[in-house]
Structure 1
């Protein structure tokens, strides 16, 4: 069946399937949680390899013989000169019949694209902070405040910046603290990630969860009085471990994601994050090690 299948049809179907998998992986957190990143890459690579290898296996096509224009080419301008009782006149070519199959393909493709976009929008909307009820948001902010107060060692307040008044929509600022007022604002995406961890049992331990834990701990350390960004980030990485455990994340997952987060921050070389660079004392046994007896750093 594979050998007899039309190559163009098989390739189009396979590439369409690969594209659907890639788009689903890009837009859905659930798909990314279960499907490793190498799966969509392998699918796209397989589509290209099939194109190359199957093309090489096919026998060369014989050169077509020269065929003069016929009736099927009438719409290309090949009319006909006829002679009848009215004299000699030019008979224009008839219109070529419309190809319905091609239009149907465009309609089907547009429909599939619309479905993918709709699913992506619904998936993204369902994972936002604003979609939660007011009661759920209030309960979550109360929990975040309690955890931040525990890290800061004094009463502080945590608010989710629903209007992006302080963090800015689409900016790199995921949290901002006002130590004098004992108040910090978190980006809504951070609040939603923390909510999923603490209340929805989302313990997958991905980068989204790691960033949310570190951001909340970071702002809590600022509220405790530390103003140096690099030092604050180092202390936040260590506080994020106990915080994750209190929010229900398994210990093994917590240690894995924080080791990864620590390695990523050590390798950062961007100018924008220069102020957040970890100092040399941020290491096992260093001056900033809050658990010098524990060789597992940062947690």
Structure 2
């Protein structure tokens, strides 16, 4: 956005420089410098760039924290409004990791609504769950779920259960207090996981089930 704004301002300057004319149409006239339009371009660019910088910061912080947690370099990227309509990979999930014959990519793509929920998480991570915690909880879980794909798990039901058992530690890794991390893990387990489709849900994702990894961060042990 900064590059686009500066380019637009520079183009405005050159248009004025090469096409300035006096009232008789002479090109070498002394037309006033277009301070106002260039100022408007720069102001709009600065205002628009503020939320973009916040998203880039959130992407960076999430990528750094998850790389540390997974013990391997990974990147989380946020989609924008256009990605809802022009998805070159044809996936409409809230997040996804591309796979090749060599295995998973190192980049997790997050849909725009997931990133909006993640922004809510960063806002409330030390304060407690908001009145409507669902978008924030689901976004945090998407980060956790995609981390399982980045780690090499391809099956959705296994990745989902692994993520369920790690939502607490993922929330903490991203800066949540223990109380908030616990609330997120329990909310997803109690309110959202039971309503997942067959692709993601497994009856073995429970205490003592075949997918129970016996880790202390599982919601049934919190």
Question: Does TM, scored on the shorter chain, surpass 0.5?
Answer: yes
Q: Which residue of the partner structure matches residue 139 of structure 2?
A: 212
1:284 equivalent in alignment to 2:207: yes
Query: 1:247-269: CA deviations, max 9, x gaps?
Result: 33332333233223213345327
Q: Does 1:274 align with 2:194?
A: no
Instruction: Give the equivalent residue in structure 1 for 2:181.
Output: 254
Partners of 1:167 and 1:250 in 2: CA distance? 37
Selected match of 2:120 from 196, 216, 229: 196
Distance in 2 between residues matched to 1:182 and 1:225, nearest whole Å = 10
SS across alignment from 2:105: coil
- SS of the residue corresponding to residue 141 of structure 1 reads helix
Structure 2's unaligned 5+ residue stretches are: 1-47
How far is 1:230 from its partner?
A: 0.7
Distance apart, 1:201 and its partner CA: 5.3
Give the stretch that moved more between structures: 143-152 or 214-223.
143-152
Corresponding position of 1:139? 57
Superposed counterparts of 1:99-138, under 5 Å = 132-138=50-56
Equivalent residues of 1:149, 1:155 under 8 A apart: yes
* Conserved 8 A contact 1:156-1:223: yes
Are the equivalent residues in 1 in contact too, given 2:97–2:109 (CA < 8 A)?
Answer: yes
Rg: which structure is higher? 1
Matched residue, 1:177: 97
Match status 1:149 vs 2:72: no
Contact kept? 1:217, 1:236, Cα under 8 Å: yes
Tell me if 1:242 matches 2:169.
Answer: yes
| CA 1:178–1:151: 2 relative to 1, 3 Å | farther
**1-side partners of 2:128 and 2:217: how far apart?**
25
Q: TM-score, normalised by structure 1?
A: 0.47
Q: Which consecutive residues of structure 1, in runs of 5 or more, have no partner in the other structure? A: 1-129
CA distance, structure 2, for counterparts of residue 283 and residue 155 of structure 1? 30
Question: Between Structure 1 and Structure 2, how many residues are aligned?
Answer: 165
The structural deviation recorded for 1:236 is 0.9
Q: Which has the higher contact order (CA 8 A, sep 6+)?
A: 2
Summarize the Cα distance change of 1:292–1:139 in structure 2 as closer, same or farther, 3 Å threshold: closer
Q: Is the 8 A contact 2:69 2:173 kept in 1?
A: no
- Distance of 2:155 and 2:126 partners within structure 1: 32
* Corresponding residue SS for 2:166: helix
Distance in 2 between residues matched to 1:223 and 1:247, nearest whole Å: 17
Q: Distance in 2 between matches of 1:202 and 1:275?
A: 33
Contact 1:167–1:173 at 8 Å: present in 2 too?
Answer: no
Q: CA RMSD in A?
A: 3.2
